A and B are shown apart, each in its own frame.
Chain A
Amino acid sequence: MRFFSDVRLTYARAFRAVLREPSWIIIGLGQPLFYLYLFGPLLDKTGSTRGWPAGTSSWDVFVPGLLVQLVIFNCAFNGFALLSEMRQGVLERLSVTPISRMALLLGRAGRDATLVVVQGAILVGLAVPLGLHLHPGMVVAALILLALGIGLSCLGYGLALLLRSEDALAPVIQGVSLPVLLLSGVFLPLTLAPGWLDDTAEANPLRHTVDAVRALMLGDGRAWLGIVVTLALSLALVVFGTRRFNNTEDLRIN
């Protein structure tokens, strides 16, 4: 079908940009790696407590959260790359051709999500020697993170189209991502939280994503709610990004 070949085309173009600068894969991993090595060891005593199955290490609880953090930082912040394409007129040029704007969006978002899964695999590989246990549920977790990556990329691109400047985009994404991150139990499971905090976090869809990824990687606990919530969220964000793109009249920034 034409739509899928258009997505593939955009995906391939976006991927070529990464292959030209492969160091970005490592740069994007920087922050989670700091957390892994400089913060993770502080949690050493938490693994065996609070009702996780016997033999669970703190890393089994911590790494899934880091993976979600990785997705948030690397996908939602990709709007900046779109602003550069708008400034160069690339987006406008491609928008005067028969290719659909949704395909232009999804190809890029798919590239971002693929990268983040690759980065996640590297992160997991580095965490194994520290004490992370591997579980086959990880494969499903990777698919959830892929879906989340596509959704958050579309959010980043949609916000970039809306705000049209780095100066406006940075504080908005920073300002939203930090509370969302903290309210999703990325660093410590929210089961440790006092009741009011736990209740507030219930309203945060990413909290359920983190719970599901954690459950899948532990091979224990309920994952379906998080899977459903993540897929619904990602779908909504794809719709948001596509609508923003379709409704943006000026795709060039001077």
Chain B
Amino acid sequence: MISTHALRREFRRSKRAEPVVAVDGIDLTVDAGEVFGLLGPNGAGKSTTMRMLTTLLPPTSGTALVAGHDVARERSAVRRRIGFVAQGGGTDAAETARSELVMQGRVFGMSRADALARANQLLDRFSLTDAADRRLGTWSGGMRRRLDIAIGLVNSPELLLLDEPTTGLDPASRAEVWAEIRAVRDAGTTILLTTHYLEEADELCDRVAIVHKGKVARTGSPDDLKSQVAGDSIVVTLPAGAPETVAPTVREQPWCRGADEVDDRTLRVYVDDGSRAVTDLLRLLDGLSTPVVTLTLTRPSLDDVFLTATGHPLAVAGV
């Protein structure tokens, strides 16, 4: 659905100024039917990449094929096949949802009747029919974001591009938007989204590209990325003093990649596959006559992945 090669974009403040490289040679392949996420802090180059893929911004160099067409040379073919939902939305506060949806259908060449039918269908699907003829200025942020997505779907696009789809939304609205995005994917539309929220990438995306300083640092499914970073860890609470006693034996086990005595009651054990090693660890401790008070299995987060890939935690990397 998307394939880019060495995609690059520079910005110049003036003709003489040194160019600032926003996107520095990005290679991406997004398959039909998947939800693909560009994850990175603000300023990493996610939005610039997305704007090039929507034809809004010509690349400085490199190529990008979107839905089978070149974004630089076949702009109108690309535009007909995609839907784009910008971060700040794109609706007029003085208009109504129905008229915005109809307008969107009309600019894609639908007849008035077809555009109205499509508008009503989408209003219904996004549960916006009741508010359809109220000025958008009176709508909540979550409703407007759902309308933005509906507008992006008017032309039944093969690919829907969502720039920071849940930034600025409250948790309830975010969950609603996530549900809508999943429904769009289930209906067969490919989705590319940008986000700087780890949970969002984790929850929604089939595959993620970690973008840092205009480059792709890692690509893969959230699970693959996490297991590449490091294995899982098991944290056990034991009777006082026990961690020190058992640690050497634990470290000798073939499934163990390391063990830290966190304090005199807590032991953290690093393993490749946590769900299997749990049994081994419990059996071992049982053999050592050490009762286990609590046990927690933790898997690495995308934050750990981000940290390993870029050397910065996501939360501060943009600053």
Contact = CB atoms under 8 A, between A and B. Distances in A.
Interface of A: 2, 6, 9, 13, 16-17, 20, 85, 88-90, 92-99, 249-252, 254
A220 to B, nearest CB: 46
B230 to A, nearest CB: 38
Contacts of B109: 2, 98
A132 B54 CA distance: 56
B92 A90 contact: yes
A251 B108 contact: no
A94 B56 contact: no
B94 A20 contact: yes
A96 B90 CA distance: 11
Interface string B98-113: 0100011011110000
Secondary structure call for the A interface: helix
A91 B80 CA distance: 17
A93 B94 contact: no
Given A98-B76, A98-B108, A93 B151 contact: yes
A88 B84 contact: no
B82 A96 contact: yes
Contact of B80 (A2, A90, A95, A98): A98
Contact of A13 (B82, B86, B103): B103
B93 to A, nearest CB: 7
Contact of A85 (B57, B92, B151): B92
Contact of B107 (A16, A88, A94, A251): A94
Q: Which 10 A-B pairs have the closest CB atoms?
A: A93-B90, A89-B90, A99-B107, A96-B84, A97-B107, A89-B88, A96-B54, A90-B92, A98-B76, A89-B86
A162 to B, nearest CB: 14
13 contacts: A17-B92, A88-B90, A89-B89, A90-B90, A92-B56, A92-B86, A93-B84, A93-B86, A96-B79, A96-B82, A99-B107, A249-B58, A252-B88
Contacts of A6: 107
Given A20-B94, A88-B93, A96-B55, A254 B88 contact: yes
B90 A97 contact: no
A21 B112 CA distance: 24
Interface in B100-132: 103-104, 106-109
Nearest to B135: A20
Contacts of A9: 103, 106-107
A74 B102 CA distance: 29
A90 B89 CA distance: 8
A185 B93 CA distance: 41
A250 B87 CA distance: 13
B91 interface: yes
Contacts of B103: 9, 13
A182 B155 CA distance: 50
A92 B108 contact: no
B159 to A, nearest CB: 12
Nearest to B92: A90
Residue of A6, A9, A17, A90 most packed against chain B (CB within 10 A): A90
Contacts of B95: 16
A98 B79 CA distance: 6
A95 B76 CA distance: 10
Nearest to A249: B57
Contacts of A250: 57
B86 A252 contact: yes
Contacts of A17: 92, 94
Given A97-B107, A98-B109, A90 B88 contact: no
Contacts of B54: 96
A93 B104 CA distance: 9
Contacts of A2: 109
Contact of B91 (A90, A96, A251, A254): A90
Given A88-B92, A93-B84, A97-B107, 15 more contacts: A9-B103, A9-B106, A20-B94, A88-B91, A89-B89, A90-B92, A92-B86, A93-B86, A93-B89, A96-B55, A98-B108, A99-B107, A249-B57, A250-B57, A251-B56
Nearest to B57: A249
Interface string B149-167: 0010001000000000000
Nearest to A6: B107
Nearest to B106: A9
A85 B93 CA distance: 10
A99 B91 CA distance: 16
A102 to B, nearest CB: 13
Nearest to A87: B88
B90 A92 contact: yes
Interface string B271-298: 0000000000000000000000000000
B135 to A, nearest CB: 9
B56 A97 contact: no
A249 B243 CA distance: 61
A168 B94 CA distance: 25
A162 B57 CA distance: 16
A93 B89 CA distance: 8
A85 B79 CA distance: 20
Contacts of A93: 84, 86, 89-91, 104, 151
